[in-house]
């Protein structure tokens, strides 16, 4: 039985990857940091009684900023594969917590790689590093591919740049099977509530159900190459099953402005919008409601821009070229953006029918 260790196991990708590896018959160990409230919702359905001798899913307390703890867990679990997904993953928040972000996202990756050398597992254990399209930052070339120069635009991206290169360096210096997946944005109903897609689908659901008046967003012009997290964790696994360790771009090859994502999400519930105004003055108002279940007054303002969500330096355009992954990994995304939006909006409508909206929802993210 293959053994995998996943850092960030209770995050969006950790949850989908755990599911995938359990289906494939792996023993899965997950590292999760201590929180004052239980935050394992995304993986609760995978829980197995640790007293069961055949248990295949185990959680360990750990933190990317604690080397001793990482060394101990890796020694105990002796993994064949490590998926390093843990990170302070919010780009805007990284401007507020730059030092911590560098420590967890940058040096954290070094801690994993060094732990493997210290434990003499560097020839046994394969490492997947969660690299990101944020590395491309200020546009140098489109579409962005494995050879496109990096130009990071946030403390998050700079930390991830260190993680990218230290992974390449350990591969070249010590012959480790260590790979970067340069993943473009991927979303799902499990996406954190403060990333723009989920913030939008939650906002649409709450507004349509009469639980929220309007939503406030930042830069509506930014364009992203959005895929489904389920497809992207499959690529992570494939990257570690190859004969040689290499880095891969994982993307759909299609880019969409944030504004169009908003339009598509409202349209799912039959609510049509018109955008007027520019920059900080831009708003979206309702022009038609096709679905009798979700009726809002025509002319109602449902989206407004709040400059608080602008970033000091922005990544305006991401569009990936997944040719290498498609050719070498035989990887293809199964979901397209309309299916993703449909699934996310439906899940949030369902969720809000079950619980009431938090008062300060629109102030976060």
Distance between CA atoms of residues 156 and 101, nearest Å: 6
Residue closer to ligand NDP by CB (options 11, 79) is 11
Q: Which CB sits closer to ligand GDR, 122 or 231?
A: 231
Q: How far is the CB of 24 from ligand NDP (least distance, A)?
A: 19
Structure tokens at 46: 């995978």
Nearest Cα neighbor of 13 from 224, 201, 191 is: 191
Q: Which residue is nearest to ligand GDR, using beta carbons? A: 222
The distance of closest approach from Cβ of residue 231 to ligand NDP in the complex, given in angstroms and rounded to an integer, is: 12
Q: Select from ligand GDR, ligand NDP, none the partner in contact with residue 35, using the beta carbon and a kind-dependent cut-off of 5 to 8 Å.
A: ligand NDP
Residue (of 224, 138, 194, 158) closest to 309 by Cα position = 194
When CB distances to ligand NDP are compared, the closest residue is 11
Report the residue number, 176 or 264, with the smaller CB distance to ligand GDR: 264
Pairing of strands 256-257, 223-224: antiparallel
- What does the binding site for ligand NDP look like in residue numbers (CB under 6 A)? 7-8, 10-14, 33, 35, 39, 63-65, 85-89, 104, 130, 132, 183, 185-186, 192
Q: Buried (b) or exposed (e) across 87-126, using 16+ Cβ within 10 A?
A: bbbbbbbbeeebeebbbbbbbbbbbbbbbbeeeebbeebb
Q: To the nearest whole angstrom, how small is the minimum distance from the Cβ of residue 22 to ligand GDR?
A: 24
Closest CB to ligand NDP among residues 126, 286: 126
CB of 309 to ligand GDR, least distance (A): 4
Distance from first CA to last CA of the chain, Å, rounded?
41
Query: Catalytic amino acids?
Result: 132, 134, 156
Smaller CB distance to ligand NDP: residue 126 or 230?
Answer: 230
Partner touching 10 among ligand NDP, ligand GDR, none, CB below 5 to 8 Å by kind:
ligand NDP
Cα–Cα nearest to 223, from 189, 169, 192, 185: 185
- Please, what is the minimum distance in Å from the beta carbon of residue 33 to ligand NDP? 4
Minimum CB–partner distance for residue 94 and ligand GDR (Å): 9
116-121 long-range contacts (CB < 8 A, ≥24 apart) are 116/74, 116/82, 116/176, 117/170, 117/174, 118/71, 119/71, 119/74, 119/75, 121/74, 121/78, 121/79
- Closer of 165 and 195 to ligand GDR (Cβ): 195
Binding site for ligand GDR (CB under 6 A): 89, 91-92, 132-134, 184-185, 194-196, 199, 217-219, 222, 224, 258, 309, 311, 314-315, 365
Residue 343 partner contact from ligand GDR, ligand NDP, none using kind-dependent CB cut-offs of 5 to 8 Å: none
């Amino acid at each position: 039985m293959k053994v995998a260790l996943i850092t960030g196991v209770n995050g969006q990708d950790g949850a989908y990857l755990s599911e995938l590896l359990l289906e494939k018959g792996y023993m899965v160990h997950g590292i999760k940091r201590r929180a004052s409230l239980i935050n394992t919702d995304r993986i609760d359905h995978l829980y197995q009684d640790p007293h069961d001798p055949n248990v295949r899913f185990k959680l360990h307390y750990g933190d990317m900023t604690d080397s001793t703890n990482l060394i101990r867990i890796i020694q105990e679990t002796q993994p064949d594969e490590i998926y390093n997904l843990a990170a302070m993953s919010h780009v805007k928040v990284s401007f507020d917590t730059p030092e911590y972000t560098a420590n967890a996202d940058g040096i954290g990756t070094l801690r994993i790689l060094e732990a493997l050398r210290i434990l003499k597992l560097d020839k046994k254990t394969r490492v997947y590093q969660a690299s990101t399209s944020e590395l491309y930052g200020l546009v140098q070339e489109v579409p962005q591919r494995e050879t496109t120069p990096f130009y990071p635009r946030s403390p998050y991206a700079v930390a991830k740049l260190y993680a990218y290169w230290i992974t390449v360096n350990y591969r070249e210096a010590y012959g480790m099977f260590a790979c970067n997946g340069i993943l473009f944005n991927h979303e799902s109903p499990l996406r954190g509530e403060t990333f723009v897609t989920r913030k939008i689908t939650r906002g649409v659901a709450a507004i349509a159900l009469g639980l929220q008046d309007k939503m406030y967003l930042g830069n509506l012009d930014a364009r992203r190459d959005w895929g489904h997290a389920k497809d992207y964790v499959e690529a992570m696994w494939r990257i570690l099953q190859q004969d040689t360790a290499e880095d891969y771009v994982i993307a759909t090859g299609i880019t969409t402005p944030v504004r169009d994502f908003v339009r598509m999400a409202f349209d799912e519930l039959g609510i049509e919008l018109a955008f007027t105004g520019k920059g900080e003055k831009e708003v979206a108002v309702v022009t038609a409601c096709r679905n009798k279940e979700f009726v809002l007054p025509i002319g109602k303002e449902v989206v407004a821009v709040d400059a608080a969500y602008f970033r000091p330096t922005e990544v305006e355009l991401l569009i990936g070229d997944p040719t290498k992954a498609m050719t070498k990994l035989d990887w293809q995304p199964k979901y397209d953006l309309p299916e993703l939006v449909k699934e996310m909006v439906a899940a949030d409508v369902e969720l809000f029918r079950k619980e009431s909206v938090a008062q300060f929802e629109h102030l976060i993210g």
